[in-house]
Copies of this chain bind each other. A is one copy, B any other.
Amino acid sequence: VERDFVRWLRQRLPRIGDDAAVLDWPADRLIVTSDMLMDGTDFELDRCDPQRAGRKALAVNLSDLAAMAARPMAAVVSVALPRSQRLDFAQQFYRGIFRLAEEFQVEVVGGDTNSWSGPLVVSIALLGEASGPGPLCRSGGRPGDDLLVTGQLGGSLLGHHLDFTPRVREALTLHAAYPLHAAIDISDGLSLDLSRLAEESGCGASLDLDQIPISPDAHRLAEQVPGLSALDRALGDGEDFELLLAVPPEVTRRMLDDRLVNIPLTRIGQLIAAPGLWARRSGQEPVPLEPRGYEH
Protein backbone atom coordinates (compact mmCIF):
# COMPACT_ATOMS: atom_id res chain seq x y z
CA VAL A 1 0.00 0.00 0.00
CA GLU A 2 2.72 2.43 1.06
CA ARG A 3 4.58 2.32 -2.24
CA ASP A 4 1.42 2.64 -4.36
CA PHE A 5 0.31 5.52 -2.23
CA VAL A 6 3.60 7.38 -2.52
CA ARG A 7 3.42 6.96 -6.30
CA TRP A 8 -0.12 8.37 -6.28
CA LEU A 9 1.04 11.23 -4.09
CA ARG A 10 3.99 12.09 -6.30
CA GLN A 11 1.74 12.52 -9.32
CA ARG A 12 -0.14 15.16 -7.38
CA LEU A 13 2.81 16.89 -5.79
CA PRO A 14 5.30 17.83 -8.49
CA ARG A 15 7.71 19.37 -6.01
CA ILE A 16 8.24 16.17 -4.06
CA GLY A 17 11.47 14.54 -5.13
CA ASP A 18 14.05 16.35 -3.04
CA ASP A 19 14.88 16.10 0.63
CA ALA A 20 13.24 19.46 1.14
CA ALA A 21 11.05 21.78 -0.89
CA VAL A 22 12.21 25.02 -2.44
CA LEU A 23 9.57 27.75 -2.26
CA ASP A 24 9.01 30.32 -4.99
CA TRP A 25 8.84 33.01 -2.40
CA PRO A 26 11.02 34.80 -1.62
CA ALA A 27 13.01 34.19 -4.78
CA ASP A 28 13.99 30.53 -4.41
CA ARG A 29 15.91 31.04 -1.18
CA LEU A 30 13.44 29.57 1.29
CA ILE A 31 13.67 25.83 1.87
CA VAL A 32 11.29 23.80 4.02
CA THR A 33 11.28 20.20 5.15
CA SER A 34 9.28 18.11 7.59
CA ASP A 35 9.73 14.70 9.17
CA MET A 36 7.46 12.79 11.50
CA LEU A 37 8.96 10.30 13.97
CA MET A 38 7.00 7.75 15.97
CA ASP A 39 7.92 5.87 19.13
CA GLY A 40 8.39 2.20 18.26
CA THR A 41 9.46 3.01 14.71
CA ASP A 42 12.16 5.67 14.85
CA PHE A 43 13.20 5.15 18.46
CA GLU A 44 12.10 2.97 21.36
CA LEU A 45 11.35 5.16 24.32
CA ASP A 46 11.31 2.24 26.74
CA ARG A 47 14.97 1.70 25.95
CA CYS A 48 16.18 5.14 24.94
CA ASP A 49 16.60 8.40 26.83
CA PRO A 50 13.84 10.83 25.68
CA GLN A 51 16.54 13.45 25.15
CA ARG A 52 18.14 11.31 22.43
CA ALA A 53 14.76 10.80 20.78
CA GLY A 54 14.08 14.54 20.78
CA ARG A 55 17.53 15.18 19.40
CA LYS A 56 16.91 12.72 16.56
CA ALA A 57 13.62 14.38 15.64
CA LEU A 58 15.46 17.59 14.84
CA ALA A 59 18.60 15.90 13.48
CA VAL A 60 16.78 14.09 10.65
CA ASN A 61 15.34 17.41 9.51
CA LEU A 62 18.75 19.07 9.70
CA SER A 63 20.07 16.25 7.54
CA ASP A 64 17.41 17.00 4.92
CA LEU A 65 18.48 20.63 4.81
CA ALA A 66 22.14 19.57 4.63
CA ALA A 67 21.29 17.59 1.50
CA MET A 68 20.04 20.85 -0.06
CA ALA A 69 23.04 22.80 1.29
CA ALA A 70 20.57 25.06 3.08
CA ARG A 71 21.31 26.98 6.25
CA PRO A 72 18.80 25.97 8.97
CA MET A 73 16.93 28.88 10.49
CA ALA A 74 13.71 28.08 12.33
CA ALA A 75 11.77 25.05 13.49
CA VAL A 76 8.19 24.39 14.51
CA VAL A 77 7.75 21.36 16.73
CA SER A 78 4.46 19.46 17.01
CA VAL A 79 4.23 16.64 19.50
CA ALA A 80 1.67 14.15 20.77
CA LEU A 81 2.88 13.11 24.21
CA PRO A 82 1.71 9.93 25.91
CA ARG A 83 -0.61 10.94 28.72
CA SER A 84 0.99 8.34 30.99
CA GLN A 85 4.34 10.14 31.02
CA ARG A 86 5.45 12.62 33.64
CA LEU A 87 6.41 16.27 33.15
CA ASP A 88 10.07 15.35 33.37
CA PHE A 89 9.78 13.08 30.34
CA ALA A 90 8.39 15.84 28.14
CA GLN A 91 11.05 18.26 29.37
CA GLN A 92 13.84 15.79 28.59
CA PHE A 93 12.41 15.17 25.14
CA TYR A 94 12.32 18.89 24.36
CA ARG A 95 15.78 19.43 25.88
CA GLY A 96 17.14 17.06 23.26
CA ILE A 97 15.56 19.23 20.57
CA PHE A 98 16.66 22.53 22.16
CA ARG A 99 20.29 21.50 22.61
CA LEU A 100 20.73 20.43 19.01
CA ALA A 101 18.84 23.53 17.87
CA GLU A 102 21.29 25.70 19.78
CA GLU A 103 24.24 23.83 18.32
CA PHE A 104 22.99 24.53 14.79
CA GLN A 105 21.65 28.03 15.51
CA VAL A 106 18.06 27.02 14.83
CA GLU A 107 15.36 28.96 16.60
CA VAL A 108 12.35 26.96 17.74
CA VAL A 109 9.62 29.45 16.90
CA GLY A 110 6.51 27.53 17.73
CA GLY A 111 4.56 24.36 17.37
CA ASP A 112 1.80 22.41 18.97
CA THR A 113 1.79 20.31 22.12
CA ASN A 114 -0.82 17.63 22.67
CA SER A 115 -1.26 14.66 24.93
CA TRP A 116 -3.06 11.45 24.11
CA SER A 117 -3.30 7.77 24.93
CA GLY A 118 -1.02 6.71 22.05
CA PRO A 119 2.75 6.49 21.77
CA LEU A 120 4.85 9.64 21.35
CA VAL A 121 4.72 11.18 17.88
CA VAL A 122 6.78 14.21 16.91
CA SER A 123 6.76 16.18 13.71
CA ILE A 124 9.22 18.99 13.09
CA ALA A 125 9.08 21.38 10.18
CA LEU A 126 12.40 23.07 9.56
CA LEU A 127 12.91 26.22 7.51
CA GLY A 128 16.22 27.11 5.96
CA GLU A 129 17.81 29.49 3.55
CA ALA A 130 19.57 28.36 0.41
CA SER A 131 23.31 28.97 0.48
CA GLY A 132 25.85 29.92 -2.16
CA PRO A 133 24.68 29.43 -5.71
CA GLY A 134 21.26 28.19 -4.57
CA PRO A 135 19.67 24.95 -3.43
CA LEU A 136 21.47 21.72 -4.19
CA CYS A 137 19.04 19.21 -5.69
CA ARG A 138 18.91 15.50 -6.43
CA SER A 139 18.36 16.18 -10.09
CA GLY A 140 21.57 18.06 -10.92
CA GLY A 141 23.80 15.03 -11.51
CA ARG A 142 25.27 14.31 -14.96
CA PRO A 143 26.81 11.21 -16.51
CA GLY A 144 30.49 11.15 -15.63
CA ASP A 145 30.05 12.86 -12.26
CA ASP A 146 31.96 11.30 -9.42
CA LEU A 147 29.99 10.06 -6.43
CA LEU A 148 31.43 11.10 -3.08
CA VAL A 149 30.19 10.14 0.33
CA THR A 150 30.86 11.64 3.77
CA GLY A 151 31.67 9.50 6.80
CA GLN A 152 31.20 5.74 7.04
CA LEU A 153 28.14 3.66 6.28
CA GLY A 154 26.10 0.83 7.77
CA GLY A 155 25.20 -0.51 11.19
CA SER A 156 23.44 2.65 12.36
CA LEU A 157 21.04 0.51 14.39
CA LEU A 158 23.77 0.12 17.01
CA GLY A 159 23.38 3.76 18.01
CA HIS A 160 24.43 6.03 15.16
CA HIS A 161 20.79 6.44 14.06
CA LEU A 162 20.19 8.35 17.31
CA ASP A 163 23.50 10.12 17.79
CA PHE A 164 24.59 11.09 14.28
CA THR A 165 25.71 14.60 13.52
CA PRO A 166 23.76 16.03 10.58
CA ARG A 167 26.19 17.15 7.89
CA VAL A 168 25.00 20.74 7.73
CA ARG A 169 28.39 22.41 8.18
CA GLU A 170 30.04 20.06 5.70
CA ALA A 171 27.35 20.71 3.09
CA LEU A 172 27.61 24.48 3.47
CA THR A 173 31.42 24.38 3.30
CA LEU A 174 31.59 22.12 0.26
CA HIS A 175 28.76 23.91 -1.58
CA ALA A 176 30.57 27.23 -1.08
CA ALA A 177 33.93 25.89 -2.24
CA TYR A 178 33.13 23.55 -5.17
CA PRO A 179 30.63 23.39 -8.04
CA LEU A 180 28.63 20.45 -6.65
CA HIS A 181 26.01 19.02 -9.02
CA ALA A 182 23.63 17.06 -6.78
CA ALA A 183 23.19 15.67 -3.28
CA ILE A 184 20.99 13.46 -1.16
CA ASP A 185 21.25 12.41 2.46
CA ILE A 186 21.52 8.68 3.01
CA SER A 187 18.50 8.08 5.19
CA ASP A 188 17.10 4.90 3.67
CA GLY A 189 20.28 3.10 2.58
CA LEU A 190 23.11 3.96 0.18
CA SER A 191 21.91 1.87 -2.76
CA LEU A 192 18.29 3.04 -2.48
CA ASP A 193 19.16 6.70 -2.04
CA LEU A 194 21.73 6.52 -4.83
CA SER A 195 19.12 5.04 -7.15
CA ARG A 196 16.86 8.00 -6.30
CA LEU A 197 19.57 10.58 -6.99
CA ALA A 198 20.49 8.86 -10.26
CA GLU A 199 16.86 8.59 -11.36
CA GLU A 200 16.12 12.25 -10.57
CA SER A 201 19.24 13.17 -12.54
CA GLY A 202 18.19 11.03 -15.51
CA CYS A 203 21.28 8.82 -15.12
CA GLY A 204 22.37 5.46 -13.92
CA ALA A 205 25.13 4.87 -11.41
CA SER A 206 28.05 2.56 -10.89
CA LEU A 207 29.42 1.82 -7.42
CA ASP A 208 33.00 0.72 -6.71
CA LEU A 209 32.30 -1.80 -3.98
CA ASP A 210 35.90 -1.85 -2.79
CA GLN A 211 35.81 1.87 -2.10
CA ILE A 212 32.71 2.04 0.08
CA PRO A 213 33.65 3.24 3.58
CA ILE A 214 32.18 0.63 5.91
CA SER A 215 31.60 1.68 9.51
CA PRO A 216 32.92 -0.38 12.44
CA ASP A 217 29.29 -0.84 13.51
CA ALA A 218 28.47 -2.46 10.16
CA HIS A 219 31.25 -4.98 10.81
CA ARG A 220 30.07 -5.52 14.37
CA LEU A 221 26.48 -6.09 13.25
CA ALA A 222 27.60 -8.44 10.48
CA GLU A 223 29.31 -10.56 13.13
CA GLN A 224 26.31 -10.52 15.46
CA VAL A 225 23.59 -11.13 12.86
CA PRO A 226 24.28 -13.74 10.19
CA GLY A 227 22.98 -13.31 6.67
CA LEU A 228 24.15 -9.80 5.83
CA SER A 229 27.81 -8.88 5.34
CA ALA A 230 29.27 -5.58 6.50
CA LEU A 231 29.22 -4.42 2.88
CA ASP A 232 25.55 -5.41 2.56
CA ARG A 233 24.87 -3.25 5.60
CA ALA A 234 26.79 -0.30 4.18
CA LEU A 235 24.76 -0.65 0.98
CA GLY A 236 21.34 -1.20 2.49
CA ASP A 237 21.10 -0.15 6.14
CA GLY A 238 19.17 3.06 6.57
CA GLU A 239 19.77 6.06 8.78
CA ASP A 240 23.44 6.73 8.10
CA PHE A 241 22.51 10.37 7.52
CA GLU A 242 25.69 10.90 5.58
CA LEU A 243 25.75 12.93 2.37
CA LEU A 244 26.02 11.44 -1.08
CA LEU A 245 27.32 14.02 -3.57
CA ALA A 246 27.58 14.07 -7.34
CA VAL A 247 30.53 16.25 -8.36
CA PRO A 248 32.14 17.09 -11.68
CA PRO A 249 35.13 14.72 -12.11
CA GLU A 250 37.57 17.59 -12.60
CA VAL A 251 37.05 18.81 -9.00
CA THR A 252 37.16 15.43 -7.22
CA ARG A 253 40.93 15.37 -6.78
CA ARG A 254 40.93 18.89 -5.39
CA MET A 255 38.05 18.14 -2.98
CA LEU A 256 39.81 15.06 -1.64
CA ASP A 257 43.14 16.86 -1.31
CA ASP A 258 41.88 20.14 0.18
CA ARG A 259 40.33 18.40 3.19
CA LEU A 260 38.06 21.35 3.95
CA VAL A 261 35.87 19.17 6.17
CA ASN A 262 36.98 17.21 9.21
CA ILE A 263 35.27 13.95 8.27
CA PRO A 264 36.19 11.32 5.69
CA LEU A 265 35.20 12.09 2.11
CA THR A 266 35.41 9.10 -0.21
CA ARG A 267 34.92 8.58 -3.92
CA ILE A 268 32.68 5.51 -4.28
CA GLY A 269 31.65 5.49 -7.93
CA GLN A 270 30.20 7.60 -10.67
CA LEU A 271 27.02 8.50 -12.51
CA ILE A 272 26.69 6.90 -15.93
CA ALA A 273 24.51 7.53 -18.95
CA ALA A 274 22.84 4.09 -18.96
CA PRO A 275 19.97 3.76 -16.50
CA GLY A 276 20.09 1.45 -13.52
CA LEU A 277 22.41 0.69 -10.67
CA TRP A 278 25.66 -1.22 -11.17
CA ALA A 279 28.34 -2.46 -8.83
CA ARG A 280 31.86 -3.56 -9.53
CA ARG A 281 34.87 -4.84 -7.71
CA SER A 282 38.28 -3.64 -8.89
CA GLY A 283 39.43 -5.57 -11.92
CA GLN A 284 35.99 -7.07 -12.56
CA GLU A 285 33.07 -6.27 -14.82
CA PRO A 286 30.13 -4.30 -13.34
CA VAL A 287 27.08 -6.34 -12.33
CA PRO A 288 23.52 -5.06 -11.78
CA LEU A 289 22.79 -4.03 -8.19
CA GLU A 290 19.30 -4.18 -6.74
CA PRO A 291 18.59 -0.99 -4.72
CA ARG A 292 17.87 -2.03 -1.17
CA GLY A 293 16.93 -0.06 1.92
CA TYR A 294 14.13 1.25 3.98
CA GLU A 295 10.90 2.06 2.12
CA HIS A 296 8.57 4.19 4.22
In the complex, what residues of B have CB within 8 A of residue A112's CB?
34-36, 123, 296
CB of B296 within 8 A of CB of A13, answer: no
CB of B125 within 8 A of CB of A1, answer: no
Copies in the complex: 2
In the complex, what residues of B have CB within 8 A of residue A35's CB?
78, 112
Most buried by B among A12, A29, A114: A114
For the side of the interface on A, what is the size category?
A: 35 or more
CB of A23 within 8 A of CB of B113, answer: no
In the complex, what residues of B have CB within 8 A of residue A125's CB?
32, 34, 76, 78, 123, 125
The verdict on A179 contacting chain B, using a C-beta distance below 8 Å, is: no
- Interface 9-residue window, one of A103-111, A196-204, A224-232, A235-243: A103-111
Complex alpha-carbon distance, A108 and B16, angstroms: 9
Complex alpha-carbon distance, A15 and B20, angstroms: 25
The verdict on A87 contacting chain B, using a C-beta distance below 8 Å, is: yes
In the complex, what residues of B have CB within 8 A of residue A90's CB?
1, 5
Most buried by B among A73, A107, A112, A117: A112
